[in-house]
Chains A and B, each alone.
Chain A
Amino acid sequence: MPQAQLLRIFARPPLPLLFALAGAGLIISAYSAWDATLPAFCGAGSARLLLSFGWPDALRLALALNPPARLLTEWASMLLAMMPPLLAVPLMHVWRSSQPRRRVRAITCFVLGYGCVWLTVGPVLIGLALLLQFVAGQGAVAFAGAVLLASLWSASPWQRIALNRGHRLSRIGLFGWAADRECLTFGAVHAVWCVASCWPWMLVPLAAASWHIPAMLVTGAIMLLERLGPPGWPRWRWPAFLALLDLRPIRVLRQGGVR
Chain B
Amino acid sequence: MGAVRKDVATLGPGWNKTLLNYALAMQALDELPLGNRNSWKFLGAMHGFDKGLWVQQHLIAQAAPVPPDLTNDTYGNQCQHASWFFLSWHRGYLHAFEAIVAATVKRLTGDDWTLPYWNYLDHDNPKARSVPDAFLADNLPDGSPNPLRKYPRRPGLAELRPGPTDSFSLAAVDEDDFVVGNHGSVGLGGGISGDFIQFGGWTGQLEANPHNTVHRLVGGFMGDPRLAGLDPIFWLHHCNIDRVWEAWMSAPGKTMVSDSRWRDGPDDRTFIMPKVGGGDPGMTFTGRDTLKGGTLHPSYDNLTKGTGLVIPGAVAVARVNMGASDQQRVEPIGANSAVVSVGATPAKTQVDLEPVATRSGVAAMGATEPGKEVTRLYLALESVRGSAPAPMIDVYVNVPEGDAPQDHPELHAGNLTLFGLNVASQPNGAHGGNGLGYTLDITDLATRLTKADNFDPNRLRVTLVPGEQISDDTPITVDKISVLKRTGIVN
Cα separation A97 to B192 with both chains bound (whole Å) = 15
CB proximity to A under 8 Å, residues B415-473: 427-434
Pick out which of these stretches binds chain B: A28-36, A112-120, A203-211, A251-259: A251-259
| CB of B166 within 8 Å of the partner chain | no
Report chain A residues within 8 Å CB of B183: 96, 257
**A99-B332, A167-B432 known; A259+B194 contact, CB < 8 A:** yes
Contact check, A254 vs B428: say whether CB atoms are below 8 A apart: no
Contact with A along B11-39 (1 / 0, CB 8 A): 00000000000000000000000000000
Pick out which of these stretches binds chain A: B40-48, B261-269, B406-414: B261-269
Contact check, A169 vs B383: say whether CB atoms are below 8 A apart: yes
Contact with B along A218-259 (1 / 0, CB 8 A): 000000000000111110000000000001101101110111
| CB of A164 within 8 Å of the partner chain | yes
Report chain A residues within 8 Å CB of B53: none
Partner of B197, one of A97, A165, A175, A251: A251
Report chain A residues within 8 Å CB of B333: 99
CB proximity to A under 8 Å, residues B166-191: 182-183
| CB of B488 within 8 Å of the partner chain | no
Report chain B residues within 8 Å CB of A165: 427
Cα separation A250 to B196 with both chains bound (whole Å) = 10
Contact with A along B108-151 (1 / 0, CB 8 A): 00000000000000000000000000000000000000000000
Among A5, A161, A174, A258, residue most surrounded by chain B Cβ atoms (within 10 Å): A174
| CB of B195 within 8 Å of the partner chain | yes
CB distance from B462 to the nearest CB of A (A): 15
CB proximity to B under 8 Å, residues A59-75: none
Partner of A171, one of B197, B383, B428, B432: B383
Cα separation A136 to B480 with both chains bound (whole Å) = 50
Contact with A along B326-340 (1 / 0, CB 8 A): 000001111101010
Contact check, B331 vs A255: say whether CB atoms are below 8 A apart: no
Cα separation A164 to B197 with both chains bound (whole Å) = 15
Contact check, A168 vs B432: say whether CB atoms are below 8 A apart: yes
Cα separation A90 to B352 with both chains bound (whole Å) = 24
Cα separation A165 to B197 with both chains bound (whole Å) = 18
Cα separation A164 to B200 with both chains bound (whole Å) = 16
**A164-B432, A233-B428 known; A259+B192 contact, CB < 8 A:** yes
Contact check, B335 vs A173: say whether CB atoms are below 8 A apart: yes
Contact check, A97 vs B332: say whether CB atoms are below 8 A apart: yes
**A171-B339, A172-B480, A251-B195 known; A161+B267 contact, CB < 8 A:** no
| CB of A56 within 8 Å of the partner chain | no
CB proximity to A under 8 Å, residues B288-328: none
CB distance from A162 to the nearest CB of B (A): 11
| CB of B394 within 8 Å of the partner chain | no
Contact with A along B267-285 (1 / 0, CB 8 A): 1110000000000000000
CB distance from B333 to the nearest CB of A (A): 8
| CB of A170 within 8 Å of the partner chain | yes
| CB of B80 within 8 Å of the partner chain | no
Contact check, A171 vs B480: say whether CB atoms are below 8 A apart: yes
Report chain A residues within 8 Å CB of B352: 174-175
Partner of A164, one of B192, B354, B427: B427
Cα separation A248 to B268 with both chains bound (whole Å) = 6
Partner of B194, one of A169, A170, A253: A253
| CB of B231 within 8 Å of the partner chain | no
Contact check, A254 vs B427: say whether CB atoms are below 8 A apart: no
**A161-B428, A248-B268, A251-B197 known; A170+B479 contact, CB < 8 A:** yes
| CB of B104 within 8 Å of the partner chain | no
CB distance from B258 to the nearest CB of A (A): 15
Contact check, A174 vs B334: say whether CB atoms are below 8 A apart: yes
Contact with A along B343-365 (1 / 0, CB 8 A): 00000000010100000000000
**A173-B335, A174-B335, A178-B337 known; A168+B196 contact, CB < 8 A:** no
Contact check, A255 vs B428: say whether CB atoms are below 8 A apart: no
Cα separation A250 to B269 with both chains bound (whole Å) = 10
CB distance from A95 to the nearest CB of B (A): 10
Contact check, A164 vs B268: say whether CB atoms are below 8 A apart: no
| CB of B203 within 8 Å of the partner chain | no
Contact check, A247 vs B428: say whether CB atoms are below 8 A apart: no
User: Given known contacts A98-B332, A167-B432, what 15 new A-B pairs fall within 8 Å (CB)?
Assistant: A5-B267, A96-B183, A99-B354, A100-B331, A161-B428, A167-B433, A168-B427, A168-B432, A171-B382, A173-B335, A174-B352, A231-B427, A247-B268, A251-B195, A255-B197
- Partner-B contacts on A (CB < 8 A): 5, 96-100, 160-161, 164-165, 167-175, 178, 230-234, 247-248, 250-251, 253-255, 257-259
- Partner-A contacts on B (CB < 8 A): 182-183, 192-197, 200-201, 261, 266-269, 331-335, 337, 339, 352, 354, 382-383, 427-434, 479-480, 482
Cβ contacts A to B, 15 pairs, < 8 Å? A5-B268, A96-B182, A99-B354, A164-B428, A167-B434, A168-B432, A168-B433, A170-B479, A175-B335, A178-B337, A230-B430, A231-B432, A250-B195, A250-B267, A255-B201
Which 3 A-B residue pairings sit nearest by Cβ, starting from the closest? A254-B194, A167-B432, A171-B479
